[in-house]
């Protein structure tokens, strides 16, 4: 890829997580590990409070177009452990996900598909698109438990005063 690469920014906490992910993927010979590692090496690492406002971050919505398509897609950029649905999630261990992480809105980035074809992506916007499902973090729901409620029978007269 001879064209100049867009500048990318990654929050320090996300960078550390992505480095661990990329190192693990490299030992497993994952086909995208090298690309993700190269993106992490060239990234500007910032504290979360210093991140530019229009940057694609982990667990955030991204709206993008591939190869100048007329149809934009919106997905949540996630690590593989957080991947739940191909309809709403995009893994950073996919060629497209590795290209998008850290990009600024309006930037264009080339990437190779797993099949070897050269493509480009344009990051159009951030944030959930209109009509997107309201999502709650899966890990946050693990602590929620249902409390059984005893059914009231027909002879239950309700509360009584003592």
- 123: domain CATH number is 3.10.50.30
Q: What pLDDT sits at residue 162? A: 53
Long-range contacts of 128-134 (CB under 8 A, 24+ apart): 128/61, 128/74, 129/61, 129/63, 129/74, 132/61, 132/74, 132/88, 133/88
Domain count, the chain: 1
134: pLDDT strictly greater than 70: no
By residue count, the chain amounts to 162
Q: What is the pLDDT of residues 98-128, one digit of tens each?
A: 999 999 999 999 999 999 999 999 999 998 8
Q: pLDDT band at 38, cuts 50/70/90?
A: very high
152 lies in some domain: no
pLDDT reading at 138 higher than 60: no
C-alpha distances (whole Å) from 112 to each of 2, 20, 95, 120, 161 are 13, 22, 7, 8, 74
Calculate the average pLDDT of the chain.
86
- Domain hosting 21: range is 9-127
Binning pLDDT at 50, 70 and 90, where does residue 4 land?
confident
Of the given ranges (6-15, 92-101, 147-156), which has the lowest mean pLDDT? 147-156
First to last CA, the chain: 81
In a domain, 63, yes or no: yes
């Amino acid at each position: 890829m001879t064209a100049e690469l867009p500048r990318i920014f990654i929050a320090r906490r996300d960078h550390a997580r992505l480095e661990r992910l990329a190192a693990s993927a490299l030992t497993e010979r994952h086909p995208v590990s090298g690309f993700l590692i190269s993106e992490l090496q060239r990234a500007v690492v910032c504290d979360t409070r210093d991140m530019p406002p229009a940057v694609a971050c982990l667990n955030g919505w991204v709206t993008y177009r591939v190869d100048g398509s007329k149809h934009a897609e919106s997905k949540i950029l996630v690590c593989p452990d957080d991947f739940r649905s191909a309809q709403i999630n995009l893994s950073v261990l996919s060629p497209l996900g590795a290209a998008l992480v850290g990009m600024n809105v309006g930037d264009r980035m080339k990437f190779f598909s797993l099949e070897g074809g050269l493509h480009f992506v344009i990051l159009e916007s951030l944030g959930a698109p209109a009509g997107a499902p309201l999502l709650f973090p899966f890990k946050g729901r693990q602590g929620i438990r249902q409390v059984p409620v005893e059914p009231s029978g027909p002879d239950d007269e309700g509360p009584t005063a003592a």
